[in-house]
């Protein structure tokens, strides 16, 4: 493979992994090149994204590479999501919010296990609408981000606190004669 192909692969991988990012070791294993080569390609890509032609850049936090939007476009992102606030939330957004509200603090993987589908993009949208926020990091391997709801979530749903959420049904207490699928 030539240099531009490898850089394109790295870009694609960074895009696909989203906010979780990718480690140098993972890049080396997937692209099948040495760590020093990865460093060189990442550095070249970082320099390319420094120009004003791009709205995002590559960052390296805790030895994990990821794309992030540049701070210069944040006012436009806020404007976009303020325009969309008048739109109602999709059922997927409501589902994700309900899971976070009932289970917070919760990781993306835990949310995906409950929903059965990926939710990386949905989490970003909900964060941009200021309905959820990062509460820190879990002690689990990889130290995944923990999510919780915001004060704005409470305002939107007219709640004083999460204690006002209705109780979830207790499916453990169903008798053997009761069948949920009848």
CB 165 within 8 A of CB 102: yes
Per-residue pLDDT of the chain (182 residues; tens, 9 = 90+): 899 999 999 999 999 888 788 999 999 999 999 999 999 999 999 999 998 899 999 998 878 899 888 889 988 887 877 765 556 788 889 999 999 999 999 999 999 999 999 888 899 889 988 899 999 999 988 889 999 999 989 888 888 888 888 888 776 665 555 555 55
**Rounded CA gap, 7 and 31, in Å?**
10
For the chain, which residues make up each domain, given as ranges?
3-69, 73-167
> Does domain 3-69 fall into CATH 3.30.70.330?
no
Q: How far is CA 60 from the centre of its chain?
A: 16
- pTM beyond cutoff 0.95: no
DSSP run (H or E) holding 57? strand 56-61
CB 14 within 8 A of CB 65: yes
3-class SS of residue 30? helix
The correct CATH number of 73-167 out of 1.10.10.10, 1.20.1730.10, 3.60.15.10, 3.40.50.150 is 1.10.10.10
């Amino acid at each position: 493979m030539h240099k531009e192909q490898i850089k394109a692969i790295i870009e694609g991988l960074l895009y696909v992994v989203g906010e979780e990012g990718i480690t140098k070791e993972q890049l080396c294993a997937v692209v099948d090149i040495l760590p020093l080569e990865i460093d060189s390609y990442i550095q070249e890509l970082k320099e390319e994204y420094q120009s004003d032609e791009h709205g995002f850049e590559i960052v390296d936090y805790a030895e994990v590479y990821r794309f992030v939007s540049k701070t210069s476009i944040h006012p436009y992102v806020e404007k976009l999501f303020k325009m969309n606030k008048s739109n109602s939330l999709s059922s997927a957004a409501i589902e994700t919010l309900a899971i976070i509200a009932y289970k917070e603090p919760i990781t993306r993987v835990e949310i995906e296990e409950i929903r059965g589908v990926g939710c990386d993009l949905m989490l970003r949208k909900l964060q941009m609408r200021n309905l959820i926020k990062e509460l820190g990091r879990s002690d689990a391997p990889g130290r995944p981000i923990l999510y919780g709801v915001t004060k704005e979530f409470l305002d939107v749903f007219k709640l004083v606190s999460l204690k006002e959420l209705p109780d979830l049904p207790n499916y453990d207490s169903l008798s053997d004669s009761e069948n949920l699928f009848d």
